[in-house]
């Protein structure tokens, strides 16, 4: 008697059962999906680890090579018979190329695929490093350093999308902390390693050391990383105009920031010119990327509040990180007259503290509110700055030890956290957009 299915009694019973079932299902649902999500996202395979770690080695070389020449500029200057003012270009050309390439890398990795872009960049980096070692004139050196900067700039940001595709919690927290420690270590140790290589061998080895790891990285990444396909169709509406504007804007900005303090800013003709070109280009650049349908970089990412604030903190942490990496060695050299090896021994404390702290930090990152963690890191940094500010002309290893340990610990806490908070915000933005 199928019609009885519709009887009021039966309907009531079904409704009641549904009512009983509903709350249970509602509470059970998150657990079920969480379990399912965990099952769907298996631990990254050995191949993923190898691929990402190879990329991290590339990252290490790219960041280290910004700083590696700083302690050896005098020797390079002698080798290329350049003047002291000109030799600064060995550093500046790398930085200008790097800062233009970094934002462009997003578009390029879509166009060519992450794998092709990274491998091309690693090979380009290796080749230009080899060329730097063979440079016989300043002009050649500047050109090869710029090529090196372009390749380095393409490698740095490309790591992050790979990590976010291949890694899930808790592995994600681990790998992000590893990456931020490597980033900090490479900029801290760059001048020391550079000074050591130049003292022991010659300045050519600053560049020659990149060759073997560079080739290794390229091979490993080619074999292990394959997360997306090239979208060559992007080439059709490629915004060359936006690219030129961006290169002028960021390149001239970098030049002005690099040369400004030495030449008293606008009092110097070339700095003044760079500031003017940069300001005009920036106005057109912003107009272009906000109106063009396929912009060279998508600034609308900043409309996500946590991404914008995350970037703000990255900016602040970058200030402290680069600032102290620059200041403390300079203090030791100018006031104490330390050699580059002695300086290295002193600043390595911060690096060791970072390494010692990283497993703990990765663990905390899974448990603690990221905002609290970032606040602790930033607060600790301020305290260690306060402690460092009591420097005297005798301050050396011992006096800098405590503040530097504090700084190292905090770098891990805050750098790791702002990285992650931001990446998460990005992740959320994606999630929200996905249904559209």
Q: Which of residues 113-172 bind another protein (CB under 8 A)?
A: 114, 156-161, 164-165, 168-169, 172
317 binds another protein (CB under 8 A): yes
Which residues, including other chains, have CB under 8 Å from residue 113's CB and lie 6 or more apart? 228, 229, 230
CA atoms of 150 and 116, how far apart (whole Å): 15
CA atoms of 358 and 141, how far apart (whole Å): 37
CB of 271 to another protein, least distance (A): 11
DSSP-derived 3-state class of residue 264: coil
Nearest partner of 348 among 397, 392, 389, 288, judged by Cα: 397
CB of 109 to another protein, least distance (A): 5
Contact residue for another protein among 312, 339, 352, 359 (CB under 8 A): 312
CA atoms of 386 and 366, how far apart (whole Å): 30
37 binds another protein (CB under 8 A): yes
| 6 vs 369, beta carbon nearer another protein | 369
DSSP-derived 3-state class of residue 267: helix
| 1 vs 26, beta carbon nearer another protein | 26
Contact residue for another protein among 21, 43, 137, 261 (CB under 8 A): 261
Binding mask 348-387 for another protein (x = CB under 8 A): ---------------------xxx--xx--xx-xxx-xx-
CB of 103 to another protein, least distance (A): 5
| 209 vs 288, beta carbon nearer another protein | 288
CB of 168 to another protein, least distance (A): 6
Instruction: Find the helix packing angle between 46-67 and 171-200, rounded to 10°.
Output: 40
Instruction: Please check whether residue 179 is in contact with residue 419, taking contact to mean a CB–CB distance below 8 angstroms.
Output: yes
Residues 263-292 that bind another protein (CB under 8 A): 264-265
Contact residue for another protein among 93, 254, 278, 361 (CB under 8 A): 254
CB of 133 to another protein, least distance (A): 25
Question: What tokens appear for 329 in the block?
Answer: 């060695």
65 binds another protein (CB under 8 A): no
CA atoms of 51 and 181, how far apart (whole Å): 18
Instruction: Please check whether residue 191 is in contact with residue 340, taking contact to mean a CB–CB distance below 8 angstroms.
Output: yes
Contact residue for another protein among 182, 321, 349, 412 (CB under 8 A): 321
Residue located via tokens 């009512």: 19
Contact residue for another protein among 249, 285, 331, 338 (CB under 8 A): 331
Which residues, including other chains, have CB under 8 Å from residue 205's CB and lie 6 or more apart? 133, 197, 198
The footprint of another protein on this chain (CB under 8 A) covers a number of residues equal to 100
Contact residue for another protein among 53, 335, 348, 356 (CB under 8 A): 335
Distance of CA 74 to the CA centre of its chain: 29
Q: How many CB atoms lie within 10 A of CB 390?
A: 9
* Choices 14-22, 214-222, 273-281, 329-337 (CB under 8 A): range interacting with another protein: 329-337
Residues 388-407 that bind another protein (CB under 8 A): 388-393
Residues 188-247 that bind another protein (CB under 8 A): 227-228
């Amino acid at each position: 008697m199928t019609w009885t299915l519709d009887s009021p009694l039966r309907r009531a019973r079904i409704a009641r059962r549904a009512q009983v079932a509903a709350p249970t299902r509602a509470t059970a649902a998150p657990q079920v999906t969480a379990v399912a999500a965990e099952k769907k996202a298996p631990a990254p395979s050995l191949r993923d680890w190898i691929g990402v770690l190879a990329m991290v080695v590339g990252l290490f070389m790219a960041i280290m090579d910004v700083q590696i020449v700083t302690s050896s500029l005098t020797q390079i200057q002698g080798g290329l018979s350049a003047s002291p003012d000109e030799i600064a270009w060995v550093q500046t050309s790398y930085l200008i190329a790097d800062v233009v390439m970094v934002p462009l890398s997003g578009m390029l990795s879509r166009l060519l695929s992450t794998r092709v872009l990274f491998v091309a960049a690693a090979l380009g980096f290796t080749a230009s490093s080899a060329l730097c070692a063979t440079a016989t004139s300043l002009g050649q050196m500047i050109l090869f350093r710029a090529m090196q900067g372009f390749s380095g700039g393409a490698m740095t940001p490309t790591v992050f999308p790979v990590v976010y595709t291949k890694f899930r919690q808790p592995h994600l927290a681990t790998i992000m902390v590893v990456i931020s420690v490597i980033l900090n270590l490479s900029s801290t140790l760059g001048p020391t390693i550079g000074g050591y290589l130049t003292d022991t061998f010659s300045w050519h080895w600053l560049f020659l050391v990149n060759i073997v790891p560079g080739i290794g990285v390229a091979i490993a990444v080619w074999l292990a990383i394959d997360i997306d396909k090239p979208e060559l169709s992007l080439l059709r509406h490629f915004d060359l105009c936006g690219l030129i504007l961006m290169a002028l804007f960021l390149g001239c900005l970098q030049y002005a920031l690099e040369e400004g303090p030495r030449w008293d800013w606008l009092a110097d003709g070339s700095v003044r010119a760079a500031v003017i070109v940069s300001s005009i280009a920036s106005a057109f650049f912003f107009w272009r990327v906000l109106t063009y349908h396929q912009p060279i970089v998508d600034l609308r990412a900043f409309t996500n509040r946590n991404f914008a604030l995350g970037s703000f903190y990255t900016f602040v942490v970058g200030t402290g990180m680069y600032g102290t990496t620059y200041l403390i060695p300079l203090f030791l050299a100018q006031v104490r007259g330390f050699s580059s090896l002695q300086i290295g021994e002193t600043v390595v404390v911060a690096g060791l503290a970072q390494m010692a702290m990283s497993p703990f930090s990765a663990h905390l990152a899974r448990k603690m509110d990221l905002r609290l963690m970032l606040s602790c890191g930033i607060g600790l940094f301020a305290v260690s700055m306060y402690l460092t500010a009591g420097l005297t002309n005798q301050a050396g290893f011992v006096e800098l030890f405590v503040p530097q340990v504090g700084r190292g610990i905090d770098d891990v806490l805050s750098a790791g956290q702002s990285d992650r908070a931001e990446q998460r915000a990005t992740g959320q933005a994606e999630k929200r957009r996905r249904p559209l």
